[in-house]
Structure 1
Amino acid sequence: MKSDGEIMEILAAYDLTGSLRATAELTGCCHHTVARHVAARDAGRPIAEPAPRDRVTDAFLPKIEEWVETSKGRIRADKAHEKLLALGYVGSERSTRRAIAQVKAAWRLGHVRVHRPWIAEPGMWLQYDFGDGPRIGGVKTILFVAWLAFSRFRIVIPLRDRTAPSVFAALDRSFRIIGGAPTYVLTDNEKTVTTAHVAGVPVRNQQTLDFARHYGVTVLTCQPADPATKGGVEASVKLAKADLVPTDTNLRAEYSTFAELEKACEVFMDEVNNREHRATRRKPAAVLAEEAPRLHRVPETAHTVAFGLARTVPENTPMVTFENAQYSVPAHLLGTRVFVRVHGSGPGEQVIIVHHGPGGPVEVARHERARPGSPAINDEHFPGIRTRVPGDYTPRARTADEAEFLAIGAGAATWLVEAAAAGTGRMNLKMAEAVTLAKIAGTKQVDRALGDAALHGRFAHGDLASILNANVRRTTTHAADETRSLTQGTSAWAGLGAAPSSTAKEQNR
């Protein structure tokens, strides 16, 4: 096959000579080749384009187009080949597949959905959707992702479930993050928003209508099974999941607590909202500052009807009572008001506690269903509190003499506890004696002696001095190893029965 350069030389030589054979001699090719390229140029066909040939499927092309149109482009090539064989087709299945592929491609071009660029107005549209979050402690989490259409500002809030109270709390926090409420809120046709469809018209959830009325927004839903109507938030969900969910591609470590996931979401929002967006070539956080005046003011109080029953936390005990059972809340909520509700039923029933603060409603505790008399307690809600066990005493000095004795060390504190448990008499005098001995023999030696006395239960008068003297006299220790044994040797018996030496005789004189 001739290259484009060779074809151009053939055509130039033909224009020069006007003869097919002369051109063939000049270019070194057959005169039939020269004639074919000259004819293609005169017919207006592209250079080097192969001449169309009849195909075995041409006679059946109308029927193939009919099948593709009837099946909306879903007919399989093997099924079409079976139908063609019944009509007398003698070609191969490979030829059928080629014909089906070409007809399908042409059908798609004629039925493609044309997208018109959407020009969003400031302060008008907020879209939200959900994505599967990471598992924490084996429990699945949800990523609530909101997208402000005009500024491209993204919000990611982790949730423990997709119930209406959790979604409403996330929306309230989103409104407070962006500094206002938009005119429209767009989402999917979930049960929290749409209860049913009648003649293609969605029937709104009454709780959603109450929520929308409270904030002055209109909640709309996209067309069923049509994510293109809210493509902006769909892309935000993909981006958030790719960054926040631990996978082999991002090499992110697993989250040990829900608080770590919340912190990661805040870091992600700060990153994506403060870098240049590829569509606007501006930072979403900067555009949000321009869009904020077009947003509606958010009410001071959140829509708390869906959050459950209101309860006030006592000022000295971080516990609330709900249906005759008690549940713990974080200690910093003492004296505040919280909302308690039930989620689920049966063995997995849970009690959820929500607090509405300056940043909006936030879930602060989640417990398994408790029974009356058996409170549900989370130890993290009681920081710095040690459980008091009867008999477990910590010595605390109340006088100067007691403080001076306890200053000796841990052995003194142990002696005090054990001596008191043994009912030792005249303890104050013995403690004063220990202080005096510490000034003479040293604090470390006396502290060790007090520990030994407590270990062996020696609390009588003079026991401390006896133990201290024994420890002082024991200046050297003997230890056995591979080269030395502590067993008494027999070298002293070697001279038994032997004649005394001259030196011994002289000493005897």
Structure 2
Amino acid sequence: MKNSREIMEILEAYDLTGSYRAAAELAGCDHHTVARYVKMRAAGQAPEQRRHRERAIDAYLPKIEELVVRSRGKIRADVVHQRIVAMGFAGGERTTRRTVAEAKAQYRLGRHRVYRPWTVEPGLWLQFDWGWGPRIGGRQTTLWCAWLAWSRFRVVIPVWDKTLPTITACLDSTLRRIGGVPAYVLTDNEKTVTIEHVAQIAVRNAEIVEVAKHYGTTIRTCVPADPESKGGSEATVRIAKADLVPTEVNLRGEYSSFATLEAACREFCARVNDRPHRETRRKPVELLAEERQRLHPLPRAPFTAAFGTTRRVNWNCTISVDGVRYSVPHRLVDTRVWARFHGDELIVTAVEADGTAVEVARHQRGNPGTPVVDDDHFPPRENKDADRTPKATNAAEAAFLMLGPGAASWLVEAAAAGTRRIGAKMAEAVALAKLHSPAAVDRALGTAAITGRFADADLLSILDYQARQADAAPTRAGEGHSLQPGTSAWAAFGTGTGTTTSGAGLPDDLPDDLPDDVGGHDLDLDGDR
């Protein structure tokens, strides 16, 4: 089969010479080939079109096409081959596979779904969807991924669950980030949004309808099993998971806490919203400034009916729910929060100063009489036991403490030991500092504090001892004196006194039946050794 360039060269050669053989000689091919392409051009056929040759499988083409149409293009080629072999086909399975592929291509031709480009308008559509987030402490998180269709502005918020109060809080936070309310909110058909379908009509959850009314928008859902109707939010989920969920591709480490994941999501949103989008060639944050002019104003207060029952935070940073006290962050003291149970967990929601509803605490269900407390909810406690530095309140105490750190240590330890007449002993130490140096007295006081000597004469005794030790020369033991046991007792070993020995100091009158070894030593009774 010649390619297009070769066919054009053959036809040009024929047009130049007007002879099949001469054109074949110029083009480097057979004159019959030249004649075939010239005749095809004269008949109005495409020269590059191959002539169909009769095949053994052509007799079974109607049956193959029937099977492909009946299965809507889903049937496998091996199943078709079994069918036509039973009908008498003697060819190979490779021929059947190629023919079935051609039949499927012809079936799909003209049956493709045609997509009309979605021309979005500013202030009209907001889409959101969910994606699995990373695991923190062995627990699965979820990512709320919202996408403003016209400006391509993205919002990603990590959460622990997908309940209706969580959806309400995420929706409120998203609307306050974009600074307005769009006309429609498009999402998937989850039970929190769509209860059921009747005659292919989605029946809305009454509570989500109330949420939409509060914000002045309309909740819409996509067509079931049709991700194309919300492809923008699907892409937002895919991009967020690729960047935020630790994988071997992005080399991101595990998250130590939920606050770390929240910070990573805010950083991700700031980065993707501040770079030019591939479609618009403009930054989403710049387009959002223009789209805000077409958004509806936000209500000042969020929709709090879904957050549970209201509770007032006591001055001990706790709220009471079903007779059990649960802690909340100390910054919420004397404010109103909302508490609800989700399974065995209590979720506490608060409204920030800017009107955003956020989850501030989450506890396991407790038992009455046992408070459920999180230490992170309370401010750092002052360690009063660690701060034991004496502070002077009069001149006598100041004079004593001026001696040095040893004096302060002595006062602390003496007070802890219940020492009597501490004031008089402090005055005595100040008086001794005039006879001895203040450094020496302070050193003696430190020694007394360490050894626990707080009696009346202990300080003076320690001072005298330290003075003698300072004047006396150091004493070192000489080599002529040692406590190590000597070896003089071994000097007479083997010499024997008053008894004749043979070789090793043994007596001569040993019995004849004495064994050759005594105590593990060989004996030479003949006196050779």
Please give the TM-score of this superposition, normalised by the length of structure 2: 0.82
Cα distance in 1 for residues equivalent to 2:442 and 2:64: 101
The residue correspondences of 1:222-261 to structure 2 (distance < 5 A) are 222-261=222-261
CA shift for structure 1 position 96: 1.2
Cα distance in 2 for residues equivalent to 1:58 and 1:437: 124
SS for the counterpart of 1:94 is helix
Question: Who is 1:382 aligned against?
Answer: 378
Mark the structure with the bigger radius of gyration: 2
The one-character-per-residue Cα deviations of 1:205-263 (angstroms, maximum 9, x if unpaired) are 12112211221221111111211111111111111111111212222222111111111
The one-character-per-residue Cα deviations of 1:412-453 (angstroms, maximum 9, x if unpaired) are 55533432232211112334455667796466x766654443
The one-character-per-residue Cα deviations of 1:129-186 (angstroms, maximum 9, x if unpaired) are 1111111111111111111112211111111111111110010111111111122111
1:423 aligns with 2:423: no
SS for the counterpart of 2:56 is coil
Question: Who is 2:109 aligned against?
Answer: 109
Question: Who is 1:341 aligned against?
Answer: 340
1:490 aligns with 2:480: yes
Question: Who is 1:351 aligned against?
Answer: 346
1:361 aligns with 2:357: yes
Conserved? CA contact 1:393–1:417, under 8 Å: no
Amino acid at match of 1:397: K
1:18 aligns with 2:13: no
The one-character-per-residue Cα deviations of 1:277-328 (angstroms, maximum 9, x if unpaired) are 22222222122122212222222111111111111112x3211111111111
Cα distance in 1 for residues equivalent to 2:464 and 2:108: 103
Cα distance in 2 for residues equivalent to 1:196 and 1:395: 71
Question: Who is 1:321 aligned against?
Answer: 320
Residues 296 and 490 from structure 1, CA distance in 2 versus in 1: closer, same or farther, beyond 3 angstroms? same
Cα distance in 2 for residues equivalent to 1:96 and 1:408: 106
Amino acid at match of 2:362: R
The one-character-per-residue Cα deviations of 1:396-418 (angstroms, maximum 9, x if unpaired) are 53614556656767655553343
Question: Who is 2:515 aligned against?
Answer: none
Question: Who is 2:393 aligned against?
Answer: 399
Amino acid at match of 1:165: P
Conserved? CA contact 2:156–2:269, under 8 Å: yes
Cα distance in 2 for residues equivalent to 1:57 and 1:388: 96
Amino acid at match of 2:260: E
Conserved? CA contact 2:125–2:186, under 8 Å: yes
Cα distance in 2 for residues equivalent to 1:179 and 1:18: 78
The residue correspondences of 1:28-177 to structure 2 (distance < 5 A) are 28-46=28-46, 50-177=50-177
Question: Who is 2:496 aligned against?
Answer: none
CA shift for structure 1 position 14: 2.7
Cα distance in 2 for residues equivalent to 1:16 and 1:8: 12
**Comparing 127-136 and 107-116, the one that deviates more:** 107-116
**Comparing 412-421 and 151-160, the one that deviates more:** 412-421
SS for the counterpart of 1:110 is coil
1:454 to 443, 449, 461: 449
The one-character-per-residue Cα deviations of 1:100-138 (angstroms, maximum 9, x if unpaired) are 222222323322111111122222211111111111111
Amino acid at match of 1:310: T
Cα distance in 2 for residues equivalent to 1:468 and 1:90: 119
**Comparing 294-303 and 448-457, the one that deviates more:** 448-457
**Comparing 191-200 and 56-65, the one that deviates more:** 56-65
Cα distance in 2 for residues equivalent to 1:403 and 1:45: 117
**Comparing 451-460 and 93-102, the one that deviates more:** 451-460
Question: Who is 2:213 aligned against?
Answer: 213
Conserved? CA contact 1:21–1:31, under 8 Å: yes
Conserved? CA contact 2:310–2:336, under 8 Å: yes
Conserved? CA contact 1:183–1:217, under 8 Å: yes
**Comparing 394-403 and 268-277, the one that deviates more:** 394-403
**Comparing 396-405 and 105-114, the one that deviates more:** 396-405
**Comparing 324-333 and 44-53, the one that deviates more:** 44-53
CA shift for structure 1 position 393: 7.8
Residues 353 and 102 from structure 1, CA distance in 2 versus in 1: closer, same or farther, beyond 3 angstroms? same
Cα distance in 2 for residues equivalent to 1:14 and 1:263: 75
Residues 107 and 386 from structure 1, CA distance in 2 versus in 1: closer, same or farther, beyond 3 angstroms? farther
Conserved? CA contact 2:122–2:150, under 8 Å: yes
CA shift for structure 1 position 377: 1.0
**Comparing 225-234 and 276-285, the one that deviates more:** 276-285
Amino acid at match of 1:122: P
Conserved? CA contact 2:127–2:147, under 8 Å: yes
Question: Who is 1:330 aligned against?
Answer: 329
Question: Who is 2:199 aligned against?
Answer: 199
Conserved? CA contact 1:310–1:339, under 8 Å: yes
Question: Who is 2:183 aligned against?
Answer: 183
Please give the TM-score of this superposition, normalised by the length of structure 1: 0.85
Conserved? CA contact 2:390–2:408, under 8 Å: no
Residues 16 and 118 from structure 1, CA distance in 2 versus in 1: closer, same or farther, beyond 3 angstroms? closer
SS for the counterpart of 1:212 is helix
Gaps of 5+ in 1: 480-485, 493-509
Cα distance in 2 for residues equivalent to 1:180 and 1:337: 25
Amino acid at match of 1:458: R
CA shift for structure 1 position 99: 1.4
Cα distance in 1 for residues equivalent to 2:287 and 2:151: 5
SS for the counterpart of 1:111 is coil
Cα distance in 2 for residues equivalent to 1:13 and 1:100: 40
